[in-house]
């Protein structure tokens, strides 16, 4: 609340102070608010200059160029440089749209997580495309990510053990699918870790 000096009423020359309510002082408040709105509009215009749209498999993502530049070695960091140089603000990639949010979030937070519904090889190929090192994967996701490597290693040992023979109890034609050959032995290895050298590798 403010106070101001005013003339007395009815020809009274006496002067007195009166309180100024917020309504009387609304012009000052409006001016301040208008100034803040102008500043916000300038910020929004500046933000639009720094924004880029990335269309991944038909799903569009809007983000800032400075966000993409945080991880200097990635494909998106190079894209940010290209966007600044060319003025282009929309790019398309024919990649899996459900996986890209994890890639974009890595640039935003610096933390790389693994989607649990995706197998290791698929995620590895996605990281390779975006030029991201799998060593950046967070510890909480590492076991899930490398589980496929352990499985492949175990299968490789099975192939060596079973190169010239088949399980006596499982007669499978030579033209059968891969899993028809190795599923019985793989299952036995998981149930009994000491049944073969390959099973012991898994444990």
Q: Quick one: how far is CA 66 from the chain centroid?
A: 15
Q: What is the pLDDT of residue 149?
A: 75
Torsion (CA) 22, 26, 29, 31 in degrees, nearest 10: -170
CATH of 46-137, one of 3.40.50.960, 1.10.1200.10, 3.30.710.10, 3.20.20.70: 3.30.710.10
User: What b/e readout covers 140-178, taking b as 16+ CB neighbours within 10 angstroms?
Assistant: ebeebbeeeeeeeebbebbeeeeeeeeeeeeeeeeeeee
Taking Cα atoms as reference points, which of 145, 143, 142, 176 lies closest to residue 162? 176
Whole-number Å distance between alpha carbons of 98 and 107: 16
Indicate the domain borders of the chain: 2-37, 46-137, 152-203
pTM for the whole structure = 0.56
Tens of pLDDT, residues 96-145: 999 999 999 999 999 999 999 998 889 999 999 999 999 999 999 998 88
Q: Quick one: how far is CA 146 from the chain centroid?
A: 20
Q: What string of pLDDT tens digits covers the 203 residues of the chain?
A: 545 455 555 555 555 554 544 444 444 344 444 444 444 444 444 467 899 999 999 999 999 999 999 999 999 999 999 999 999 999 999 999 999 999 999 999 999 999 999 988 899 999 999 999 999 999 999 988 888 777 777 777 767 666 655 555 555 555 555 555 566 656 665 555 555 544 444 44
Whole-number Å distance between alpha carbons of 110 and 170: 50
């Amino acid at each position: 609340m403010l106070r101001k000096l005013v003339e007395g009423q009815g020809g009274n020359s006496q002067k007195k102070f009166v309180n100024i309510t917020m309504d009387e002082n609304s012009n000052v408040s409006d001016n301040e608010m208008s100034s803040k709105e102008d500043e916000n509009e300038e910020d929004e215009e500046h933000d639009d200059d720094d924004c880029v749209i990335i269309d991944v498999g038909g799903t569009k993502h809007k983000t800032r160029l400075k966000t993409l530049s945080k991880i200097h070695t990635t494909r998106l960091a190079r894209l940010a440089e290209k966007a600044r140089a060319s003025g282009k603000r929309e790019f398309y990639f024919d990649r899996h749209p459900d996986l890209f949010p994890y890639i974009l979030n890595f640039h935003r937070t610096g933390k790389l997580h693994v989607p649990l519904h995706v197998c290791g090889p698929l995620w590895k190929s996605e990281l390779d495309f975006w030029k991201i090192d799998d060593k950046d994967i967070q510890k909480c996701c590492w076991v899930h990510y490398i589980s496929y490597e352990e499985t492949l290693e175990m299968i490789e040992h099975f192939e060596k053990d079973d190169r010239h023979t088949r399980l006596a109890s499982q007669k499978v034609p030579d033209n059968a699918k891969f899993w028809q050959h190795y599923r019985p032995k793989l299952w036995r290895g998981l149930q009994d870790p000491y049944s073969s050298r390959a099973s012991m590798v898994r444990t």
